[in-house]
Amino acid sequence: MAKVSVGLRGWRFEESEIFGDDGEFRPLDEIPEEPRQRLVRLAHLVEEPCDACYLVHGEAEKRRCNQATIVYGEPGDELLLCDRHEPHFLYWFREEDGNELVGDEEFRDEFHLWFADGGRAPEEYVGMEYVETDPDDLPTPPDAEELHHRLNENFEGRRIEIIPREEREAMRKQSQEVETDDLDLDTDYPTR
């Protein structure tokens, strides 16, 4: 099967992992964890502005920002770009050693700093060429609310143990052992 982008270019999914035989999105509990996380995150990102546009225009002029068309980075630490600003990112990534920060928490922030400090690709710098398919051939991804609902409906995730079992048992035993020597049970307490 082929790799496909959904909603935004950049993150690519194995088609067979996210689409069923009917060509529709699989139920979320049937999608492997990593692609599922990306799909859920994408539902929140598809209408967000380009980070570079936002750095240029700021919150006051946010309406002038282009909508993002490309996502790079990891969920929660992603970088959103429009077609106009992608070549600047690619230049930073390829020529300014941005590729050394792949998977690092500083990835997005370092690009923002470089771009805000005037970093730009030369005018003749060529970005990427994409093979576009007819968007009507792909099912429309569920919106954020539907994804959230589908994620929680009939999905039994793994239980995460934050406190080691031995420590939990010790805490449980300790809470059951109450020191009664210091309690004054003969005291009269006011009542109403």
* Domain ranges, ordered by start, for the chain: 1-34, 47-126
pLDDT at 43: 86
- pTM for this entry: 0.65
Beta bridge partners of 71: 80
What does the pLDDT read at residue 4?
87
Summarised one tens digit per residue, pLDDT across range 145-154 is 665 565 555 5
pLDDT in tens, 74-86: 988 899 999 999 9
Tokens of 172: 């449980």
| Cβ-based neighbours of 26, under 8 Å, separated by 6 or more | 17, 18, 19, 20
Residue segments in the chain with a per-residue pLDDT below the cut of 70: 1, 127-165, 168, 175-192
Give long-range contacts, CB 8 A cutoff, 24+ apart: 149-155: 150/27, 150/28, 151/28, 151/36, 151/40, 154/27, 154/29, 155/28, 155/29
